[in-house]
Amino acid sequence: MLIFKTKNDLNQYLLNRRRLGEKIGFVPTMGALHEGHLSLINLSKKDHETTVCSIFINPTQFTNTQDFEKYPITIERDIQLLRASGCQVLFLPEVSEMYPEGVQLKEKYELGAIEHRWEGEFRPGHFQGVCQIVEKLLLLVEPDTLFLGQKDFQQVAILKQMLQVKKDLQWIQIIAGPTLRETDGLAMSSRNLRLSPEERLQATSIYKGFQQVKLELSKGEKSLDNLCQNMEKLLLANGFSKVEYIAFVEPEQMVKIDKIQDKMVLIVAAHLGEVRLIDNYLFRS
């Protein structure tokens, strides 16, 4: 696996790959890799001659300084995992490489109302920072396909919106890989590394809540609000200190729904100790 730390070196290498007619798949990450990330690498390798992974903890998408400072860093382990997965290229830039003029938001992305819902409400400015770094990376890598994890359901929807408004990026296809879970149901996440052993056990309550909702729906429960309230009670009774939101939404613009639909997503964000966890579950009738 080749490791590049500068935009110029990566650009020169990928230029040669494109001249050979190779398809390029791209998996952007912030490191602390797990099987969910590696599944995206494997998806890319199926149809792309070159797969590029980036590891960059982007400061402009953090609305909480403490969250940024405590984000887990496991670079050596990440490199080993990527090599074992068969990833061809790792882009590992410093902050100064991506923000040579200083860390700041330079452009306002027109993302519509979805930007201010759910994650956008509790982390104002977060999606602007996400879009800024992803645009920088896409303009550099120029991939045929961008691979994202469905665990960050709203982020996937936001980036699809960004590609629609950015004419120079509209040709890039987005593929969202399914959320991978541990054997006890906990969604794989880099932030799980920050959980204590006790919190790690308590965190499984989110998946248990999804299963409880699924069971109640199968029994004929019609009130989505009741289902959300019951799940919130379950989380608070099992160690979670705060639930920011639990809601059923439609999957395109993530508008809250009150009646059962053929396709709907249950989304949740809750705090366990110092760690904020998000997850989602897609329901199809």
Which domain range does residue 246 map to? 190-280
State pTM to two decimals: 0.94
Task: Give me the pLDDT at residue 167, please.
Answer: 87
Task: Give me the pLDDT at residue 106, please.
Answer: 78
- Give the CATH number of the domain where residue 156 resides: 3.40.50.620
243-272 residues labelled b (16+ CB within 10 A) or e (exposed): bebbbbbebeebeeeeeebeebbbbbbbeb
Rounded to whole angstroms, the Cα distance separating 83 from 60 reads 29
Which residues, given as ranges, of the chain have pLDDT below 50? none
**pLDDT one-digit tens code per residue, 108-126:** 899 999 999 999 999 999 9
Task: Give me the pLDDT at residue 37, please.
Answer: 98
Same domain, 56 and 151: yes
Domain count across the chain: 2
Active site (catalytic) residues: 37
Evaluate whether residue 184 is within a structural domain: no
Binding residues for (R)-pantoate, by number, are 61, 155
Same domain, 56 and 22: yes
Evaluate whether residue 198 is within a structural domain: yes
**pLDDT one-digit tens code per residue, 187-202:** 999 999 999 999 999 9
Same domain, 48 and 161: yes
Evaluate whether residue 185 is within a structural domain: no
Task: Give me the pLDDT at residue 239, please.
Answer: 96
Evaluate whether residue 119 is within a structural domain: yes
Task: Give me the pLDDT at residue 70, please.
Answer: 85
Binding residues for beta-alanine, by number, are 61
Evaluate whether residue 183 is within a structural domain: no
- Give the CATH number of the domain where residue 239 resides: 3.30.1300.10
Same domain, 129 and 82: yes
